[in-house]
Amino acid sequence: QLQLQESGPGLVKPSETLSLTCTVSGGSISRSSYYWAWIRQPPGKGLEWIGSTIFYSGRTYYNPSLKSRVSISLDTSKIQFSLEMNSVTAADTAVYYCGRDSRVGYYYYMDVWGKGTTVTVSS
């Protein structure tokens, strides 16, 4: 059974770079139908898609509102994918989830999620 696990610092200082890793177990990250995504949820608020990447074509897609500050990459040798977000502010404080972004035929959905990791931006 595919499982995802987020890891990274729980506290980041304002203006610095947030770096998170998602480790995938129980499956491959190189199949053509699957993208790998980051989603976040500020405290008490809703969900926001950050971006998705795919091994098959090497393409990555970002939320336009975050695109200038975000980078998502894949490491197939470690079966991991990562998120970097620079110039963080308190507004970036959130639970960050990694997930599998399945695009099977005409169907798009996120069917596997990590448990989430809380990141607080504070000095």
Partner 1 sequence: EIVLTQSPGTLSLSPGEGATLSCRASQSVTSTYLAWYQQKPGQAPSLLIYGASSRATGIPDRFSGSGSGTDFTLTISRLEPEDFAVYYCQQYGGSPPMYTFGQGTKLEIK
Query: Interface residues with partner 1 (CB under 8 A)?
Result: 37, 46-49, 52, 61, 63-64, 97, 101, 105-111, 113-116
**CA distances to 106, 109, 113 from 102, in Å:** 10, 5, 11
By C-beta, is 16 or 48 nearer to partner 1? 48
Provide, rounded to whole angstroms, the least separation between the CB of residue 110 and partner 1.
6
Q: Give 7 or 16: the residue with its C-beta nearer to partner 1.
A: 7
Smallest separation, CB 111 to partner 1 (Å): 5
Pairing of strands 60-62, 48-53: antiparallel
d(CA 84, CA 73): 9
Residue whose CB is less far from partner 1, 64 or 77 = 64
**Contacts for 34 with CB less than 8 Å, ≥ 6 apart:** 54, 100, 101, 102, 103
> Which of 24, 43, 28, 8 is CA-nearest to residue 113?
24
Residue 44 CB, nearest approach to partner 1 (Å) = 11
Find the shortest distance in angstroms from Cβ 45 to partner 1: 8
15 or 41: CB nearest partner 1: 41
Per the CB < 8 A criterion, the answer to whether 90 and 121 are in contact is: yes
